[in-house]
Amino acid sequence: MPAAVSFDSVTKVFPAARGSGAALRALDGVSFDIKAGEFFGLLGPNGAGKTTLISILAGLARASSGSVRVLGYDVQRDYAQARKLLGVVPQELVFDPFFNVIETLRFQSGYFGVRDNEAWIEELLVGLGLADKANANMRQLSGGMKRRVLVAQALVHKPPVIVLDEPTAGVDVELRQTLWQFVSRLNREGHTVLLTTHYLDEAEALCGRIAMLKDGRVVALERTSDLLRSASSHVLRFTIDGSLPPELARRARVTGRVVQFPAQDALEIERYLAAVREAGLHAQDVEIRKADLEEVFLQIMGQHRLAAEVS
């Protein structure tokens, strides 16, 4: 059984814009496989190369070197077969404004040469909470509803490999839940899912394995449970009125008045609290919790904030 998706030394260099700067290496030798049936997360900060990698997978952009295969089909050489095996939900909302919802889905079925698709289209409409919008014109739909149609459109040909590029950016809680229920069901039924998201709680809950990209390179590739184990085991969280001294701030994650320190054990927790007291600050609402994926992500990306200006 070939991998659902196979990235082999994928590099992408964007040439320098005319009259300015150097070429940009958006992807640099990216290699990994996603096995059939996995729910796989691709994470990374803005500009890490996630969308570029997905565009190459979807055949929308060409790799400068390296290759990508979908269930054994090369996305360049065997474009039509590879494309049929993929359902890609893009980040941007693009539609033909003159169709209504059901026409959009029928048209997309025709594009993939799928006949007698009414039962599946009905299932998509119900599963994605679009049943009462079937005859609404695309122009009349809210952003969230349009996004649901975009998901339905990507799944209309029942693709074995589903690619979701930040599908929940800016959407409400209800749609997130509807979407994850539906996509999880498809995953249980054997569809492979590749998800990019900035919502690390979603990635932690859904993805069995995660790759992290930074500056176009894979910097972590592990089972989610192993990633969580590899981090500092706990997080000390409290609020303060004032600024942490720089040597403490360097190790903390600071959001407004909330300070969080990764900590291995009780001794380390005690030391942080003592240091805060010695700095003349008063820690309130002190909590100790297990480290989550956000902690792991920040540790791996080395993005702990350097400065802590507490308002």
Ligand X SMILES: Nc1ncnc2c1ncn2[C@@H]1O[C@H](COP(=O)(O)OP(=O)(O)OP(=O)(O)O)[C@@H](O)[C@H]1O
DSSP 22-90: --EEEEEEEEEEE-TT-EEEEE--TTSSHHHHHHHHTTSS--SEEEEEETTEETTTTHHHHHHHEEEE-
Ordered alpha helix ranges (H), 130-245: 143-155, 173-188, 200-206, 224-230
Longest Cα–Cα distance of the chain, Å, equals 73
- Which amino acid, residue 48? A
Nearer to ligand X, 78 or 215 (CB): 215
Q: Which residues contact 298 (CB under 8 A, 6 or more apart)?
A: 253, 304
The least CB distance from residue 138 to ligand X, in Å, is 24
**What is the total count of residues that contact ligand X (CB under 6 A)?**
11
Figure out which of the listed residues 9, 14, 98, 266 binds ligand X, where binding follows CB under 6 A. Answer: 14
The least CB distance from residue 53 to ligand X, in Å, is 7
Nearer to ligand X, 16 or 126 (CB): 16
The least CB distance from residue 308 to ligand X, in Å, is 25
Q: How many CB atoms lie within 10 A of CB 38?
A: 19
Q: Does 168 bind ligand X (CB under 6 A)?
A: no
Nearest to 11 by CA among 63, 75, 76: 63
Binding mask 289-308 for ligand X (x = CB under 6 A): --------------------
Figure out which of the listed residues 24, 171, 219, 300 binds ligand X, where binding follows CB under 6 A. Answer: 24
Q: Does 26 bind ligand X (CB under 6 A)?
A: yes
Nearer to ligand X, 14 or 107 (CB): 14
Nearer to ligand X, 48 or 68 (CB): 48
Q: How far apart are the C-alpha atoms of 274 and 240, rounded to whole Å?
A: 14
Q: Which residues contact 288 (CB under 8 A, 6 or more apart)?
A: 234, 235, 236, 237, 263, 269
Nearer to ligand X, 49 or 129 (CB): 49
Binding mask 28-67 for ligand X (x = CB under 6 A): ----------------x-xxxxxxx---------------
CB-based contact 68:8 (threshold 8 Å): yes
The least CB distance from residue 14 to ligand X, in Å, is 3
Nearer to ligand X, 46 or 311 (CB): 46
User: How far from chain centre, in Å, is Cα 139?
Assistant: 27
Nearer to ligand X, 198 or 251 (CB): 198
Radius of gyration of the chain (CA): 23
Q: Does 197 bind ligand X (CB under 6 A)?
A: no
The least CB distance from residue 48 to ligand X, in Å, is 4
Name the residues that contact ligand X, by CB under 6 A: 14, 24, 26, 44, 46-52
